[in-house]
Amino acid sequence: MYIQINPDLEMSIYEQLSMQIMIGVIRKDLQDGDMLPSVRSLAADLGVNMHTVNKSYHELEKKGLIQIIPKSGAVIRTTNRKLSEEEKNRTLDSLKPIIVEALVLGMNEEEILSLAQSIIQNLKEE
C-alpha cells in the first residue's frame, strides 16, 4: 500500500489518509481481511502524528470499512457490505452541492455524468 500525504491540499491529513485507504480498496490493492499497518508504524512512515492516523482509522471504522481489533490492529472489511439508507442519504447530501454548483457554472447533465464516469474509471485504474 502506497500512501502519500500532500500538505498543500485543502483536505486534512486524516481525510487524505482515509481517502487513500479507500482508493486502495477500490483498486483491490487492499482486500477483505488485509491488515493495515499499526497506527504507530504508519504515523512514523508518513511523518504524521499518531492521533492523525488513529482518527483516520476510527473514521473508516465508523463507515464499516475496517474493523479495529484491540491489541491486534485494523483489518479491512468489505465483504457482505450493503449501503444503508443513512449512508445513501449522506452520499446524496455530499454530492448535491457539487452538482448544483456545476450546473450553475454551466455544465450540463451529460458533462457532469461524463466527468463522474471519468473519475470512477481513474480511481479504478491508477
Within 10 angstroms of residue 24's Cβ, the number of other Cβ atoms is 18
Within 10 angstroms of residue 72's Cβ, the number of other Cβ atoms is 10
Q: Give the mean pLDDT of 82-109.
A: 93
d(CA 60, CA 27): 17
Q: Give the mean pLDDT of 79-106.
A: 90
C-alpha cell at 19: 481517502
Question: How confident is the model at residue 65, as a pLDDT?
Answer: 92
Question: How confident is the model at residue 7, as a pLDDT?
Answer: 87
d(CA 118, CA 81): 25
d(CA 118, CA 12): 24
- Per-residue pLDDT tens over the stretch 42-58: 999 999 999 999 999 99
Within 10 angstroms of residue 12's Cβ, the number of other Cβ atoms is 12
Which residues make Cβ contacts (< 8 Å) with residue 55, sequence separation at least 6?
14
- Per-residue pLDDT tens over the stretch 14-41: 999 999 999 999 999 999 999 999 999 9
- What are the CA-CA distances from residue 106 to residues 48, 109, 110, 113, 114 (Å)? 40, 10, 12, 14, 14
